Structures are given as structure tokens and as C-alpha cells.
Chains A and B, each alone.
Chain A
Amino acid sequence: AQKITQTQPGMFVQEKEAVTLDCTYDTSDPSYGLFWYKQPSSGEMIFLIYQGSYDQQNATEGRYSLNFQKARKSANLVISASQLGDSAMYFCAMSANFNKFYFGSGTKLNVKP
């Protein structure tokens, strides 16, 4: 069984500062992918970043980076230089063998001006 845990229901960050959103996971599958999605109030799911279980290096996509610690089963999202438009819900997700996705409970990020 797959399980994704996000322990931060809500986070505040000052504009232009960095913020880390936590995510831990549990799976018995040796091959899996970890994803982060942003969901604004409109409801659409916006892909941010992907990390494969066999990837040696942490993934980065612009201002987003994923702090992947395989032994600890954590995949935290780091957003650098926060912008007001980053205010949204953020979901961590896992897909074993690139099949269906399992999502965490989400973190609501508020960026303060």
C-alpha cells in the first residue's frame, strides 16, 4: 500500500523568502515517482516537479527544488524567492510503477507581501 503524509495544513511565508513544504511517503515498491502539484482556487492541478526513486540527484525546476532523502522516505518541496502568485494548495503525490497516483492531504501556502 502507498501512503503520503503532509503534516503542514497551512504555511505562511514572506514574499521573496524561501519555504519548505514537507512530504513523507511509504511504499514497498522499489520503483516509484514522487510529484508535487500546485492547485490554485480554480481547481486545476499544475505540475511542478518530479523525482524518480532511482534518481541520484535532487530534481530542480526553476524556483522549485525537491529535497529527496530516500532513506528517510521524504520528498520536501523547496520554493525559493516566494511570489504572491505562489499562494495556493500544494499536494505531494506518489505513483508506484507509474500507475495511479496517491496524494497527500495538502498544504495551503500563503505568501505575505
Chain B
Amino acid sequence: GAVVSQHPSRVICKSGTSVKIECRSLDFQATTMFWYRQFPKQSLMLMATSNEGSKATYEQGVEKDKFLINHASLTLSTLTVTSAHPEDSSFYICSVQRNTEAFFGQGTRLTVV
């Protein structure tokens, strides 16, 4: 069964609104979760590392005020795309690591119109 659950799988929003994406670790407690973004026909690019109980660590070039990450519990991390614009349209995917394995959520396809 799924180890990581991501919701929603698809979302369409108007430009200027905010969208929240949830990532849940179902089988174990995850102190760290990872958020990736994938543009069409491109690879997954790490956006940030979500740390339970502390601030997220953002990769270079990722705006922390635009992509708000909250990791309030050991099983839930949320990514909020604030004031979304069409250029934020992308596939967002979270992952959780356990030992040598990484488990990915189903991904969220965000379309900003």
C-alpha cells in the first residue's frame, strides 16, 4: 500500500490565490520530508527540505515567502503556493525517506489560470 499520500492530485486556481498541498506519511513518523517541482518534460528539482518542528531549508533560487512549508507533525507537511501565478503551474511532488528508500507521493498537478 501507499506509504506517502499527497492531496490534492490536481488543482486549478485563479491567479493571485493561494493553494495548499498536503503530504502525509502513512506508515512511519517522518522528521524530514522533501518537496520537488517538475516542469513538463523536465526532471524533478528539489525545492526544499521540510523539518518537523523547525523552519524548512530552501534550495537556492526558491522563494521561501512564495512557497510556504509547514511541518507541524511527524506525519504531515504542507506546501502553500502563495499568490500563485501561471508560471507556478507545475507538478509538485513530496517524498519521505526511510533508510535507503525514498517514497514519493502521487504528486499534485497545479494549473494557475
Show the binding face of A for B, using Cβ within 8 Å: 33, 35, 37, 43-45, 47, 50, 52, 91, 93, 95, 98-106
Contacts of B91 in A (CB 8 A): 43
A103 and B43 in contact, given A43-B106, A43-B109, A44-B106 (Cβ under 8 angstroms): yes
Of chain A, the residue at the smallest CB distance from B59 is A100
Contacts of B95 in A (CB 8 A): 45, 101
Question: By the criterion CB–CB under 8 Å, are B49 and A103 in contact?
Answer: no
Q: State which of B38, B46, B102 has its C-beta within 8 Å of the C-beta of A35.
A: B102
A50 and B100 in contact, given A43-B91, A101-B46 (Cβ under 8 angstroms): yes
B27 interfacial by beta-carbon distance below 8 Å: no
Question: By the criterion CB–CB under 8 Å, are A52 and B100 in contact?
Answer: yes
Question: By the criterion CB–CB under 8 Å, are A43 and B97 in contact?
Answer: no
Question: By the criterion CB–CB under 8 Å, are B93 and A43 in contact?
Answer: yes
* Leading 6 A-B pairs by shortest Cβ distance: A45-B104, A43-B107, A103-B44, A103-B43, A105-B43, A106-B43
Taking chain B's interface residues, is the majority helix, strand, or loop, or is none over half, making it mixed?
Answer: strand
Residues of B in contact (CB 8 Å), total: 22
User: Can you offer 7 A-B residue contacts whose CB atoms are under 8 A?
Assistant: A35-B102, A43-B106, A47-B101, A52-B100, A93-B102, A95-B102, A101-B44
Question: By the criterion CB–CB under 8 Å, are A44 and B107 in contact?
Answer: yes
Question: By the criterion CB–CB under 8 Å, are A91 and B43 in contact?
Answer: yes
Distance of B19 from chain A, by nearest CB (Å): 17
B54 interfacial by beta-carbon distance below 8 Å: no
Distance of B88 from chain A, by nearest CB (Å): 17
Question: By the criterion CB–CB under 8 Å, are B42 and A105 in contact?
Answer: yes
Question: By the criterion CB–CB under 8 Å, are B44 and A91 in contact?
Answer: yes
A111 to B88, CA, bound (A): 33
Question: By the criterion CB–CB under 8 Å, are A102 and B101 in contact?
Answer: no
Q: In residues 90-113 of chain B, which contact A (Cβ within 8 Å)?
A: 91, 93, 95, 97, 99-104, 106-107, 109
